[in-house]
Structure 1
Amino acid sequence: MVLQYATQTQSAKATLSTILEIAHGEALLDYAWYPYMSQHAPETCCLIESTWDHPLQLRDSNSGSVRASYVAYDAKEVLMTASSTAFSADGSSVFGGYANHLARFDVQQPGLPVDLASTSPSRRSRDGMKGIVSCLAPVPGSASTGMLACASFGGQIGLVHSAADLSGMTVWRMPEEYRCSGITELKWAPGGVHLWAASRQSSYIVAWDIRDLRGPCATVPRACSTQQRMSFDFDATGTHLVAGETDGSVTFHNIRDQSPTVRIAAHGDLVAGVSAHPFYPLLATASGQRHFDYDAGTAECPSLDCSLRIWSVPANFSPT
């Protein structure tokens, strides 16, 4: 049996060069590209980013300048830091995930949110979602009033039924057999019905059918023995879930049938970032993690392979 993907895929031969570098005063926590970005329309070339102890900032991706800032305060009027952020599917709103709070901002009205909701009724209440909102995932292709998925480092997942009212949320918890630590990644499969989630130190990526939340509807194996965020994505056809692995490989799981998993050697270290182009047969992968030499007194060692690679994928990478 020959794995067509493994034999036909080639990494880019040319060396990639940086066109823009943006310096930040604090740690960068999350970012999201404007969904309708086009190089032919400079006004659409922007991204929203979250930096520790700073407001959400809309940056021009050509110059690096800040176009607008979006800020949220808690009940004590203390600036809150967004641990996660995302654009709505139509690009008219920006969402921010905070500690025990969700916020929605109007892109054209910088400043305070148009909607700020608590994810739990009170600090002592066991209802709702508790803790830091670690990731956000608006339903792709829906209007700004569509559904919004969110998750926390406490292992809970929330589904906001209407982005126009962040207070209406259905919450459930990742089953113990699939959850070892906080949830770090949420993605909607094409079609907007199945929601996939990945946790730290978990051996599975788990899916739910939002029409029936009594339990997971599918799982795919992915060893994640680290606390680091390890992303996954779906290919342009929507048939394969693409995930990075701790051994430097990238796996392709067919989520529509029982085809064998395709695995390729991509990097020399943990693959933390995976992103498939929505239109073209291209795949970007990024690797790197911190290593510690405990024999030398816990001195930090450089990553074995800290790199970004662009791959050209064939039209069909199923086993043949």
Structure 2
Amino acid sequence: MQETTCYEEDFESKQLDLEICSIDEVKGDDNCPVMGKQEGFSTGNEDTTLNEVNLIINKNTLFLKNIKLMTGAWNEFSYNNKHDEVFLKGCKWSPDGTCLLTNSNDSIMRLFDLPLSLYNCHKISEFDFPELKPSLKSKVGGLVYDYGWYPLMTSTNPDTCCFVTTSFCSPIHLWDAFSGSLRCSYKGYNALDEMHAALSVVFNPSGDLLLSGYKDSIKIFQTDVPGRDFISISTKELCDQKGIVSCIAVNPSMPNIFAAGTYTKTVGLYSLDGHAICLMTGQAGGLTQLLFSQDGSQLFTAGRKDSEILCWDLRYLGQILYVMKRPHTTNQRIYMDLSTDGHQLLSGSSTGEVYVWDLQAGPSSSTGSTETTVIEHVSQWRAHHDCVNGLSVHRHIPMVATASGQRYIPELVEDDEKDLFVSKRPQDTFEDSVKLWWAGQIEE
């Protein structure tokens, strides 16, 4: 059932105190881990060429036709006896579009470079590309909960080429995307001075703040101050939002506003200065991803084992504009992403299909006068033979990256007093791979 609690009075008039946790000085991190921050990113080419590419993307209706497989990575995640389940858990293009970062259950972050022939490419005629090979592998200490790129990353400035991860029993790590080395760490502590691992992490658009989710709280680090100095915002005390903060998103048009989702099926809106704006409930499953529209007026939310993607209207706090549905029968995070122009939403599914919705079209159906309307997908394509958990849209060329895989529990096929026999993974239904899909013009 949908419920909304707003805190507009507190948001406008009441200044809440934030807990400043500066316990001791940072040691071993004398230099700023990220240097050379810029107003924008560059691919190392002329602006006119990049503008032409963006023009092609905006003029064409992408993802609705001419979807064609370009290349992918299969052997890197192939079935083996050493690690039976090397399945993907998401993929993300770098802000400058030069490389793709993947996460998998073997706790290795892999970096795949974009083929050079595709730089500033808006029309192709041949699809004879070699299989992708990782250019970098970074072994993370434990199960990776969340990860993300530094938002101003550009390959022309190596200092900005970095990404963060948060993993089991470990602090937040900032990794160098060129060497794979660890640059620094950000450590969150509770009231008992115990170091806890963050369950979610994200940069703000300017890259100077790092927001991380914990149980009943959100901790904000300054990017240039690694260590254990942070600001703590108690979601439980501000608006009674309890539970693990499983995902965070910062509003792109109002960077002072961010949303936090929890496994207790609630979404809270907060400001960086410590105000609670709104608490929304209505998701059927624990929140796994939050995504703002480009103008910041809408918020898309998705939950685990929940087929519904909800679109919240932030102009009328707590109102659901419409619902989009796709198959989602697992507990894992299935990513969604917006097209470059923000007019289309793409999402993976547990059936191997990628679904596309036209956000400019009106709702297609309604189950009742008082119930939320539903937008039907306008396109779909079979991307994998397994769950499509990762999806990322390239920001400069018409291309989509997808990642697939899931955990399979062996089934007991025979059991007696001496022997125990279990079945292996179903070879005809599983697929652990990364694929690149072309969604632009094709030369005849």
The residue matched to 1:20 in structure 2 has which SS? strand
Superposed, which structure 2 residues align to 1:6-85 within 5 Å? 7-12=65-70, 13-85=129-201
The aligned length equals: 302
Residue 226 of structure 2 aligns with which residue?
110
Q: For the Cα contact (< 8 Å) 1:194–1:208, is it kept in 2?
A: yes
Q: Aligned partners of 2:167 and 2:301: how far apart in 1?
A: 24
Matched, 1:265 2:382: yes
Kindly provide the CA deviation profile for residues 98-135 of structure 1, in whole angstroms up to 9, marking residues without a partner as x: 1111111111111123311211129xxxx421010000
Matched, 1:301 2:425: yes
TM-aligned CA deviation for residue 142 of structure 1 = 4.3
Residue 174 of structure 1 aligns with which residue?
281
Q: Aligned partners of 2:335 and 2:65: how far apart in 1?
A: 24
TM-aligned CA deviation for residue 67 of structure 1 = 1.0
TM-aligned CA deviation for residue 281 of structure 1 = 1.1
Q: For the Cα contact (< 8 Å) 1:11–1:311, is it kept in 2?
A: yes
Residue 58 of structure 2 aligns with which residue?
none
TM-aligned CA deviation for residue 83 of structure 1 = 0.2
Kindly provide the CA deviation profile for residues 145-188 of structure 1, in whole angstroms up to 9, marking residues without a partner as x: x1111100000101112x2x2x312342432xx51x21101001
Matched, 1:251 2:309: no
Kindly provide the CA deviation profile for residues 260-314 of structure 1, in whole angstroms up to 9, marking residues without a partner as x: 5101111110100111112321111000001224243666637710000111112
Kindly provide the CA deviation profile for residues 178-211 of structure 1, in whole angstroms up to 9, marking residues without a partner as x: 51x2110100111111000001121210011112
TM-aligned CA deviation for residue 225 of structure 1 = 1.1
Q: For the Cα contact (< 8 Å) 1:128–1:171, is it kept in 2?
A: no
Give TM-score, length-normalised by structure 2.
0.65
TM-aligned CA deviation for residue 22 of structure 1 = 0.8
Superposed, which structure 2 residues align to 1:169-318 within 5 Å? 169-175=276-282, 178-179=283-284, 181-258=285-362, 261-296=378-413, 301=425, 304-314=430-440
- Residue identity matched to 1:148: F
Q: Aligned partners of 1:307 and 1:31: how far apart in 2?
A: 19
Structure 1 spans left out of the alignment, 5+ residues: none
| Bigger radius of gyration | 2
- Residue identity matched to 1:157: V
Structure 1, 303-312 or 236-245: larger mean CA deviation: 303-312
Matched, 1:129 2:241: yes
Structure 2 spans left out of the alignment, 5+ residues: 1-60, 71-128, 363-375, 414-420
The residue matched to 2:139 in structure 1 has which SS? coil
User: How high is the sequence identity, in percent, across the aligned residues?
Assistant: 29
Q: List structure 1 segments (4+ residues) > 4 angstroms apart after TM superposition.
A: 3-7, 297-300
Structure 1, 212-221 or 14-23: larger mean CA deviation: 212-221
Identify the structure with bigger relative contact order (alpha carbons < 8 Å, sequence gap 6+): 2
Distance 1:217 1:4, change over 3 A: closer
Distance 1:5 1:84, change over 3 A: closer
Q: For the Cα contact (< 8 Å) 1:103–1:113, is it kept in 2?
A: no
The residue matched to 1:21 in structure 2 has which SS? strand
Q: Aligned partners of 1:170 and 1:298: how far apart in 2?
A: 52
Kindly provide the CA deviation profile for residues 45-74 of structure 1, in whole angstroms up to 9, marking residues without a partner as x: 001110111111111011111111111110
Residue 259 of structure 2 aligns with which residue?
149
Q: Aligned partners of 1:141 and 1:298: how far apart in 2?
A: 53
- Residue identity matched to 2:69: S
Q: Aligned partners of 1:293 and 1:227: how far apart in 2?
A: 17
Q: Aligned partners of 1:114 and 1:79: how far apart in 2?
A: 13
Q: For the Cα contact (< 8 Å) 1:268–1:305, is it kept in 2?
A: yes
Distance 1:5 1:78, change over 3 A: closer
TM-aligned CA deviation for residue 215 of structure 1 = 2.6
